[in-house]
């Protein structure tokens, strides 16, 4: 797939019109349509900007932008103990241009679900900085139990986290934030997944100073805040998007 096809496919997958994508990257709508048609080639900087807001940075090792998560969470709760960095201000400007945020960086009325969806797409779980994949085996609850026993700080997210807030589906992909990946993997007897292999897996993501903020305890298990679960589910795979929709009241379980 060439760049024009990639941008077009990602825009549709993100549920964006050409006009909305143009607003996000601050160019004319005709620029996006001409790029997608192959009539013009974007500069490297513009291509990077487009792919960043679509959640697929240039390069195989491109990582998700955690500032997008921080921006969304601060828009919902400005008192959250999360720093407002220059990167956060960039996302505020982007999302304000498509009507998700107001002039103060707060979520616009009725736009909470759209905002969390955009944050999830911009910070896909598969591209989180420092994330490590392990071979499938134990459930998220079993990994969490091992971490608790070892005294390692953690928080469930993804479909396992969504099920703690409102049971809606089975667990397809155990994902947990942890303070210590090496220690956590050892405590749960996890085996590193071979690079380049696909299929079922368990993923541990290091604390990033944003995603683990506001953790709660549900039935003895630590889970990230509800808005973070929704962001992560929207940025996940398979039925995770449906689970996020259920938590946001967009879909019936």
Query: 176-226, pLDDT tens digit by residue?
Result: 999 999 999 999 999 998 877 777 899 999 999 999 999 999 999 999 999
Burial of 79 (0-12, 13-18, 19+ CB in 10 A): exposed
The pLDDT, as a whole number, for residue 253 is: 63
Sheet with 221-223, side-by-side order of all strands: 132-135, 201-206, 175-178, 154-157, 221-223, 216-218
Report yes or no on 85 lying in a domain.
no
In a domain, 133, yes or no: yes
Has residue 243 been placed in a domain?
yes
Q: 218 and 133, same structural domain?
A: yes
d(CA 175, CA 58): 24
According to DSSP, residue 191 is labeled -
* Position 130 in a domain: yes
Mean of pLDDT values over 9-32: 94
| Whether the predicted pLDDT of 61 surpasses 60 | no
CATH code of the domain in which 173 resides: 3.30.460.40
Residue 96 belongs to a domain: no
pLDDT band at 62 (very low <50, low <70, confident <90, very high): low
Give the structural domain span for 20: 3-53
Task: Verify that 46 and 153 share a domain, yes or no.
Answer: no
Percentage of residues in the chain having pLDDT higher than 90: 81
Q: Does residue 59 sit within a domain?
A: no
Q: What is the CATH number of the domain that holds 8?
A: 1.10.260.40
Number of residues that make up the chain = 253
Percent of residues, the chain, with pLDDT higher than 70: 96
pLDDT value of residue 126:
86
* Choice between 239 and 39, residue whose per-residue pLDDT is larger: 39
The arithmetic mean of pLDDT across residues 36-56, rounded, is 92
Give the pLDDT of residue 233. Answer: 95
**Total number of domains in the chain:** 2
- Backbone angles phi and psi of 202, in degrees to 5: -120, 135
Average pLDDT over residues 24-45: 94
Note the pLDDT of residue 63: 82
CA dist., res. 183 & res. 115, Å (int): 34
Q: Does residue 165 sit within a domain?
A: yes
User: Are 161 and 243 found together in one domain?
Assistant: yes
Q: Average per-residue pLDDT in the chain?
A: 92
Q: What pLDDT, in 10s, does the model give residues 80-97?
A: 999 889 999 999 999 999
> Is residue 134 situated within a structural domain?
yes
Place of tokens 């979520």: 107
Given a cut of 60, whether residue 30 has pLDDT beyond it is yes
Run of H or E residues at 227: helix 226-234
């Amino acid at each position: 797939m060439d760049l024009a096809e990639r941008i077009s496919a990602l825009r549709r997958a993100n549920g964006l019109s050409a006009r909305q994508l143009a607003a996000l990257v601050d160019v004319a709508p005709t620029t996006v349509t001409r790029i997608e048609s192959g009539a013009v080639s974007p500069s490297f900087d513009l291509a990077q900007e487009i792919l960043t807001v679509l959640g697929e940075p240039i390069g195989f090792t491109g990582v998700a932008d955690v500032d997008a998560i921080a921006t969304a969470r601060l828009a919902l709760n400005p008192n959250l103990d999360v720093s407002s960095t220059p990167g956060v201000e960039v996302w505020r400007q982007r999302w304000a241009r498509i009507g998700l945020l107001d002039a103060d960086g707060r979520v616009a009325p009725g736009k909470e679900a759209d905002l969390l969806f955009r944050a999830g797409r911009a910070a896909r779980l598969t591209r989180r900085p420092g994330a490590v994949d392990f071979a499938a085996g134990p459930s998220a609850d079993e990994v969490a139990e091992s971490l608790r026993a070892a005294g390692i700080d953690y928080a469930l997210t993804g479909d396992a986290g969504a099920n703690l807030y409102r049971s809606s589906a089975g667990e397809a992909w155990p994902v947990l934030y942890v303070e210590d990946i090496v220690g956590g993997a050892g405590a749960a007897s996890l085996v590193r997944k071979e690079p380049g292999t696909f299929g079922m897996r368990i993923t541990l993501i290091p604390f990033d100073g944003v995603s683990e903020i506001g953790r709660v305890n549900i039935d003895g298990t630590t889970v990230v805040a509800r808005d973070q679960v929704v962001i992560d589910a929207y940025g996940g795979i398979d039925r995770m998007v449906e689970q996020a929709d259920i938590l946001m009241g967009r879909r019936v379980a």
